[in-house]
Amino acid sequence: MTAMSIASLIGGFALPWALGIAALALLPNGRKDAAGQGEWPWLAGCGWFVGLFLLTLWMRGLAAMAVPFGIVAIGGPATVLTVAFGGLLAWRSRGPGWKHSIRAVARAAAGVDLQAWQRVVWLGLLTWLSLRFVLLLGDVVWRPLYPWDAWTQWATKARVWFELGTMAPFVTASEWLNATAPNVWFDAAPHYPATVPLFQVWAATLLGRWDDSLVNLPWWLTGIAFGFAIYGALRRQSFDPLPSLLGTWLVLSLPILDTHIALAGYADLPLSTYFTLGVVAALAWPVTRSRRDAAIALLLLAACIVIKNPGIVWVATVLPGLIVALFPRHGLRIAAFAFAAAAIIILVLARSEVHLLGYGLHLDFQLPLGALFDSYFTLANWHLLWYGLVGCAILAWRRLFSRELAPLTVVITAGITFLLFGFAFTNAGAWVEDQTTVNRATLHVAPLLVLWMLAAFRAWSAGATDTRRDSDSGASFVSVPEPTSAPAPAPVQARQ
């Protein structure tokens, strides 16, 4: 690979990242303590996801206008917007405030404000994550396109669209045989959305050629940006720097997540990251009323729908939690009614043997419990994630539906219900038995489970402290503190 190719890749991927950051930075965040509470890492991480999604929308527009793909055609408008947004941001931020923010971010990155032992752990975790991503970069750069679905369902579209310079339609094999129009193609999944292949089209366009390895760099960059965003999300919720970095390490060390970075090409990592950050922003917005949180939530959740077909169901699982966050007094009742109504509708549909999103519904309960238990609790797919989930649920059971935890609890309850229903009542149960789709489907919600565990453990710790205080004062019950007296809200709600 030449120096020109390296420079093109660096500049080409920095462009959507900078575009996303600049666009989001122009929106008010509703927080005065942005530098100290993780707003900058949150902004830096989410900027990649927003910018990359906007770039794919523009590529769809070029295809609709019959404009051939090219560096100038794709990157030119993005460059103009980035420069314009950056100039406007610089004009609005003139003064000493930005210098203070840069110093605050630098001190936080170096762990200067931590105690001695905390600084050692902090730098150790940071080194661990950095070394891990260096090794993952080697996996991405040196291994050709490897996973099965990657080169039968996703990269097929990317390769064709890059070679043609536009988005040609993909159809089924029978439709392709009977087609009379030119430039009609087929692969193993012609109905899959176009967003993920467009990631690879942009990479190949930057190189000027198709490269089975380098077109997968967006997956590695997604992992890095996800780490920034997770850390920022935890800091925004008043987690201290060290617990925030520990939570980031827990998310990024999930074995299946690492595998989907190293063996890039599937849509499950993008769906997981977009969904997780979309949920965090959506559940933060009722508290902050921030335009930035609203924009992040809308864009990232909208992206889920066009990343993978089940994305529309994952977005639907956010709605009950958002209702609980918006209406804390009656939201749980509304959410319970929504769960019951959804169950009735699905059972009615299942009686007619309908197919939804490529899955056939039927009323025969066939949940492969043994294979599911092996995947979650005995095999090395998730480390101790599910043990930790059960343990935190037991510890914090009194607070699972408190005002702080209820929105996220409802979302992950809906997500796990969706998974179990799919495994029990559709043909996806066969994929649990052979240990294939079960882990990829679980990856969509797994990072959110880690965030919920951290919130639940903190709620339990706060309750234990309050219990000890009540015991000292003669109280005979465990008080549940109001949000104003709790050490911090759940990770999905930002504090004013």
Residue pLDDT, tens place only, 440-457: 999 999 999 999 999 999
* Inter-residue contact 437 to 237 (CB < 8 Å): no
What pLDDT is stored for residue 476 in this prediction? 28
End-to-end CA distance of the chain: 49
Side chain identity, residue 176: W
Side chain identity, residue 430: A
What pLDDT is stored for residue 336 in this prediction? 85
Q: Name the residue with higher pLDDT: 456 or 333.
A: 456
Average pLDDT over residues 78-88: 95
* pLDDT band, very low/low/confident/very high, at 421 (cuts 50, 70, 90): confident
What pLDDT is stored for residue 66 in this prediction? 94
What pLDDT is stored for residue 219 in this prediction? 97
What pLDDT is stored for residue 301 in this prediction? 97
**Which residue's structure tokens are 């917005």?**
285
Q: Which of 22-26, 113-117, 417-421 has the lowest mean pLDDT?
A: 113-117
Give 361's DSSP letter: B
Q: Name the residue with higher pLDDT: 38 or 467.
A: 38
Average pLDDT over residues 199-215: 96
* Inter-residue contact 408 to 452 (CB < 8 Å): yes
d(CA 142, CA 492): 37
What pLDDT is stored for residue 318 in this prediction? 95
- Grouping H, G, I as helix, E, B as strand and the rest as coil, residue 185 is strand
* pLDDT band, very low/low/confident/very high, at 229 (cuts 50, 70, 90): very high
Chain-centre distance of CA 382, in angstroms?
17
Average pLDDT over residues 37-53: 94
pLDDT surpassing 80 at residue 477: no
What pLDDT is stored for residue 366 in this prediction? 72
Average pLDDT over residues 124-148: 93
What pLDDT is stored for residue 473 in this prediction? 35
What pLDDT is stored for residue 422 in this prediction? 79
* Inter-residue contact 278 to 322 (CB < 8 Å): no
- What is the percent of the chain where pLDDT is above 90? 59
Mean of per-residue pLDDT scores for the chain: 85
What pLDDT is stored for residue 428 in this prediction? 66
Instruction: Supply the pTM of this predicted model.
Output: 0.89
Q: At what angle do helices 217-236 and 446-472 cross, to 10 degrees?
A: 20
What pLDDT is stored for residue 4 in this prediction? 84
For 352-390, how does the pLDDT look when each residue is reduced to its tens digit (9 = 90+)? Answer: 666 656 555 556 667 778 888 988 999 888 989 999 999
Q: In sequence order, which ranges of 145-254 are alpha helices (DSSP H)?
A: 148-149, 155-164, 173-178, 195-207, 217-236, 241-252
What pLDDT is stored for residue 153 in this prediction? 92
* Best-predicted range by mean pLDDT (93-97, 259-263, 370-374): 259-263
Chain-centre distance of CA 239, in angstroms?
20
- What is the percent of the chain where pLDDT is above 70? 82
- Grouping H, G, I as helix, E, B as strand and the rest as coil, residue 209 is coil
d(CA 16, CA 56): 10
For residue 359, the surrounding DSSP H or E stretch is: strand 359-360
pLDDT surpassing 80 at residue 487: no
Q: Which of 17-26, 48-57, 161-170, 374-383 has the lowest mean pLDDT?
A: 374-383
- Grouping H, G, I as helix, E, B as strand and the rest as coil, residue 355 is strand
